[in-house]
Chain A
Amino acid sequence: METSLRTRVRAGDPGAFGQLFDEYASVIYRHAVRLTGDWVMADDIVSLTFLEAWRLRERLLPGDDSLRPWLLGIATNVTRNTTRAARRHRTALAKLPPPDPVPDFAEEVTQRLADTEELAAAQKALRTMRRGEREVFTLCVWEGLDAATVAETLGVAASTVRARLSRARKRLRKLTELELARGSDDKRGTEGDTRRDTDGDTRRDTDGGAGQGAVQRAAMVGQIPVSRRQAARSTQEKKR
């Protein structure tokens, strides 16, 4: 089935794009939300990804492989340069009604608050990485693509993917160490104060709700007041 879908996509069969959208829109949306931490932008990225897929369909290689890495690669490129993609498709995008900024149901609102908090915390950690590391990290770790696939998807060498993952790991370890150090010395934060307050509020809001895991994770990385510069320097100093 996958074979024929890929073939039909390459041939520009509109029905195939409908099927493609049904199968992968949620995957792309999830990737985009997690990568950007921004719900509204993720909505645009989904649209742009499939518009770009349509535009680039003839460049798709033949074969039997799943189309998921291809779409995730497009989504990553679109995310990297949303403005350029948006410009290319701006007439199309202009016709898209904007998403509701706030979900309809209270339950969803609560869930989204918790998710947003969790996303913001993850963003802080992601932003300590360079863009390439961030892309490789999210695709390999969160989307579960293997290094070779990611390399092909992003058009870089497999060794580059591994090196970026390795650097991402160093940065994250450093963050964790900082977090531990800070945890034992809790009151001394300066630039961390605002964030801590925000976290505190959210913790109350989502208390006991479905966001339990979210809250814990937020606490884990959310209070680390690291600037990008600090993280980068520490990593280098630590180089063995």
Chain B
Amino acid sequence: MNTNPRRADQPVDPQELAELLPAPARPVLPQDRHRVLREHLMEQISHEQSRSTSTSPAPPARRRLVLIAAPLALAAVVGGGAVAVDAVRDDGKGGATATGVSGGTAAEHRQAVQLLDRIAVVAADRPAVTVRDDQFVYTRSRGSSAIWGGPSKPVRDSKGDITGTRTYKGNVQSDEWQPVTGKGDGLRRLTALTPDGAPDPSQKQDIAMSGGTGYLTFRQLQALPTDPDALLKKLKSGNGVVKSRLTETVFENVGVILDQATLLPDLSAALYRAVAKLPDVTVVKNVKDGAGRTGIGLTYTDRGNPSKTTNGYWVFDPKSLAYLGTDRSALLDVAVTDEKGEVTAVGAS
């Protein structure tokens, strides 16, 4: 030891290391690229700010979808919950008034439970589908570009150099194909919508959606328990589900998978029955989905802590009780396709 000038945990001279392996190259971020990347960052920041500041002045509390993480844009879709009550009125239980987020009473919660039960019955009645590993789950949605992203185009200066991107802001249609097994890329096609709701093919962009473990694949959804208690337990036990926001997180995580779960009647029904077991889920009536369709809303309200209250809701068709989407995004179609980019006529929802 004495003859060894250095022990392993003693400081090593960086200079000596630098001589052994000098820093290679002199990579310089080109100026035009610096500009493009900077503008992109600033756009993302302002984008996210506009999305969050409308709801609260506090820094955006990013929803952490841990058990069931979702594509980023989807995560933003999931609001809290209020259930609207048109159907309740249709049901002869009229006289219910919109409670908004003022917090629910026991009666209000009972109302939500009853509605969820009816929704579950309807959901369970839908036809089951058979899906092959090589297929895709197709969803068509409409909503704000703040949710789905907008198609963007490069902006060029007079010399033809790309100086940045211009992203469409407004209502968009998202056509998305997700691989059933999660292997391989999915595809999201964003198309701008004109004020009267027609797709504008001149403003369109295809985005490859890389697969991964961040969200549940269709096969993983199929593997979820269809017993409401077991499902709820699973939803509550995901890694990193924040205890202090447990109910809210579960509600949101369920929201993320409702779209694809439409194709799985047993799972859909179990999801609704599991949500019925959550406290503070209430009904709000006469809400609109992201495409302007009126329906019944379900929301989550934490009476003890209004700041934890999410301000969105799920929307259901007042007559059929089919899931329509959220207040910020409407689900127009769910189907199984053989190819990415292929739109089938087989509709759901």
Contacts and interface: CB of A to CB of B under 8 A. Distances in A.
Contact of B23 (A21, A34, A46, A91): A34
A197 to B, nearest CB: 20
Nearest to A92: B44
B37 A166 contact: no
Interface in A7-31: 12, 14, 17-18, 21-22, 25-26, 29-30
A88 B209 CA distance: 11
Interface of A (DSSP majority class): helix
Nearest to A21: B38
The contact size tier of chain A is 35 or more
B240 interface: no
A119 B24 CA distance: 6
A142 B29 CA distance: 17
Contacts of B102: none
A144 B14 contact: yes
B9 A166 contact: yes
A173 interface: yes
Interface string A41-67: 011001100110011011000000000
Interface of B (DSSP majority class): mixed
A89 B48 CA distance: 12
25 contacts: A12-B49, A12-B59, A18-B38, A21-B38, A25-B29, A30-B28, A33-B25, A39-B27, A42-B27, A43-B33, A47-B40, A47-B41, A89-B72, A90-B72, A90-B209, A91-B207, A95-B152, A96-B36, A97-B154, A115-B24, A162-B8, A172-B17, A175-B20, A214-B24, A217-B22
A160 to B, nearest CB: 9
B345 interface: no
Interface residues of B, number: 54
Contacts of B29: 25-26, 29-30, 46
Interface stretch (A79-87, A199-207, A226-234): A79-87
A106 to B, nearest CB: 15
Nearest to B48: A54
B148 to A, nearest CB: 8
B212 A115 contact: no
Contacts of B154: 97
B20 A166 contact: no
B72 A92 contact: yes
A112 to B, nearest CB: 9
Contacts of B44: 51, 54, 89, 92
A122 B149 CA distance: 39
Nearest to A44: B37
A162 B27 contact: no
A176 interface: yes
A207 to B, nearest CB: 18
Interface string B164-189: 01010000000000000000000010
Leading 9 A-B pairs by shortest Cβ distance = A115-B25, A122-B24, A33-B27, A172-B20, A29-B29, A94-B207, A142-B23, A165-B12, A118-B24
Interface string A193-220: 0000000000000000000001001000
A74 interface: no
A97 B14 contact: no
A84 B210 CA distance: 10
Given A115-B27, A137-B17, A47 B37 contact: yes
B56 to A, nearest CB: 13
A29 B208 contact: no
